[in-house]
Amino acid sequence: QQQVTVNPNSRFLHFYASRGHKLLPSASLVPDDPTVLLTIAGMLQFKPIFLGKRCIRTNDINNVGLTARHHTFFEMLGNFSFGDYFKKQAILWAWELSTSEFGLPPDRLWVSVYKDDDEAFQLWSNEVGVPVERIKRLGEEDNFWTSGVTGPCGPCSELYYDFHPERGHVDADLNDDTRFIEFYNLVFMQYNKKDDGSLEPLKQKNIDTGLGLERLARILQQVPNNYETDLIFPIIEKASKLANVSYGFADDQTKRNLKIIGDHMRAIVFLISDGVVPSNVGRGYVVRRLIRRVVRTGRLLGIKGDGRGDLEGAFLPIIAEKVVELSTQIDADVKNKAPRIFEELKREELRFVQTLERGEKLLEEKLSDALSNAERNGTVPCLAGEDVFLLYDTYGYPMEITKEVAEERGVSIDMDGFDIEMEKQRRQSQAAHNTVRLAIENGENVAENVRDTEFIGYDRLHCKAMIES
Ligand code: ATP
Ligand code: MG
Ligand code: MG
Ligand code: MG
């Protein structure tokens, strides 16, 4: 086990500062850019001209706790060059940083290049000396970066760490999460993509990189996944304690739930710290959804607060305290904002718990009805699609809990009936949408009213699509 005596974060900064880079502060999660909801990469703050780090990726939400490497919130370190050094220097430094500064054994490192990027392939092979069997050519999806349909773009090259070199290089798959982890991505911005799709070389070539701090920490600390690094594990331990379980002895589902809490709580605390308020639209909805998932996950684990009178049963503030404690390396400012963050969390959690409890009550009624009807008619007890939909839509009661509780009581669920209701609702909201569009075309300012609608759904697919796009 390798001891990380100095924060990798500051070692990265020092490495590039002593190679002529200007250090810049971390960017806010709330970007000054109307085209994106949240900061998804370190370079976002440079988009106007063309070192920042905190990122939110809601598109990775379903990977949380399943893969060993994806978070919704993570820190991305980056070195950038605007018309200064380019491909060769970026590659040489990335290698030196990884092997000399962080001491990663060269024979554990693999790299990927864009399939047509012979220049990068040659540099890795001839200048750095990476054996060709550890240089993989990947396609557009993995290794070509574009900012949009047109505009600056270019090939990428990624560095991977191999946890299992004994598996050899035949059929090695860099996306195999049980063996490899991508930790550093180098983007070579060298083209301008034109309307007709052709690539025109840029006069001023740029370098944009991203190195995932949690992933580097996992490699350096030699733990099985990012969650077990000292960046996240203390949060998981706190949650385990509240749930009265031991992470080491927990089954996979319990572990996954604890990881979800560890991941989401970091995202939540930093989002609120950067000024995002839970709501039903935009970024506010992202944070609300994360909070609700933690509340639900906590209930599944049996977490019910620790009896602190001031919290009235809420547990999010207790876990948030741990996040704040760990936050000083990332953002010293979070400490000052902590009281406001805890207050916001408590309010939001208690409101959602109320929703859950109202749903529970209704579900109980509907289940008793279903059971007594079945007994009277000699049929199999079944919860009507309409009722399932009512709980889900009007009460905002999570579908999976409905399913679980019904199953426990021996009641099946009419999912076909539910789908019919869902489709009805979809058509209605489409019609409402069209009405709104008409109103807007007629020059009325309805946006305000649209925003103020009551939140009735939870985890609805169309909302999900909205925040992920
Ligand atoms: P992956 O292929 O593993 O999903 P990526 O290619 O999507 O990663 P990039 O867009 O290249 O990631 O981001 C640069 C770096 O940021 C990655 O090399 C990785 O270290 C880190 N990173 C990306 N996504 C995540 C995430 N969801 N959680 C933690 N770190 C991440
Ligand atoms: Mg990805
Ligand atoms: Mg990748
Ligand atoms: Mg990448």
User: Do the beta carbons of residue 210 and residue 76 sit within 8 Å?
Assistant: yes
Place of tokens 């579900």: 363
Cα gap 60→56, rounded to integer Å: 9
Answer whether residue 3 is part of any domain. Answer: no
Among protein residues, the one with the nearest Cα to ligand 1's atom 12 is: 185
Number of domains in the chain: 3
Instruction: Please give the Cα distance from 46 to 339 (Å, whole number).
Output: 32
Span 135-188, pLDDT tens digits: 999 999 999 998 778 888 999 999 999 999 999 999 999 999 999 999 999 999
| Residue 213 shares a structural domain with residue 254 | no
Query: Which residue, judged by its Cα, is nearest atom 11 of ligand 1?
Result: 185
Tell me, yes or no, whether 239 and 266 share the same domain: yes
Question: Within a domain: residue 339?
Answer: yes
CA 213 to ligand 1: nearest atom: 20
Asked, for residue 1, whether it belongs to a domain, the answer is no
Question: Does residue 336 sit in the same domain as residue 362?
Answer: no
Distance CA 121, CA 113 (A): 6
99 within some domain = yes
Range of the domain at 67: 8-221
- Say if 147 falls within a structural domain: yes
Angle at 294 between CA 324 and CA 283, to 5 degrees: 75
Q: What is the Å distance from ligand 1's center to 212 Cα? A: 6
Q: How many CB atoms lie within 10 A of CB 251?
A: 9
CA-closest candidate to residue 383, choices 396, 394, 365, 367: 367
Residues 431, 290 within the same domain: no
Mutate to test the pocket of ligand 1, among 161, 185, 220 (most ligand atoms within 8 A of CB): 185
**Residue 341, C-beta contacts closer than 8 angstroms, at least 6 positions apart:** 269, 272, 273, 320, 324, 334
Q: Going by CA atoms, what residue is nearest to atom 4 of ligand 1?
A: 70
Instruction: Read off φ and ψ for residue 249, nearest 5 degrees.
Output: -105, 0
Mean pLDDT across the chain, nearest whole number?
85
Q: Which atom of ligand 1 is nearest to the CA of 142?
A: 6
Residues with CB under 6 A from ligand 1: 57, 60, 69-71, 74, 76, 182-185, 210-212, 214-215
Q: Can you give the pLDDT at residue 22?
A: 81
Three-state SS for 40?
coil
Q: Do 76 and 217 lie in a common domain?
A: yes
Residues 337 and 404 in one domain: no
202 and 143 share a domain?
Answer: yes
What is residue 148's predicted lDDT score, i.e. its pLDDT? 75
- Does 399 lie in the same domain as 300? no
177, 206 Cβ separation under 8 angstroms: no
Residues 388 and 436 reside in one and the same domain: yes
Alpha carbons 450 and 428: distance in angstroms, whole number: 15
Question: Are 336 and 377 members of one domain?
Answer: no
Range from 64-73, 401-410, 439-448 carrying the lowest mean pLDDT:
439-448
Q: Where is the domain boundary, 353, 386, 416?
A: 353
Ligand nearest to the CA of 182: 1
Residue 256 has pLDDT above 90, yes or no: yes
Residue 53 has pLDDT above 50, yes or no: yes
pLDDT score recorded for residue 34: 65
With bands split at pLDDT 50, 70 and 90, how would you rate the model's confidence at 49?
A: very low
ipTM topping 0.85: yes
458 domain-assigned: yes
Q: How remote is the CA of residue 121 from the centroid of ligand 1, in Å? A: 21
Q: Is residue 393 part of a domain?
A: yes
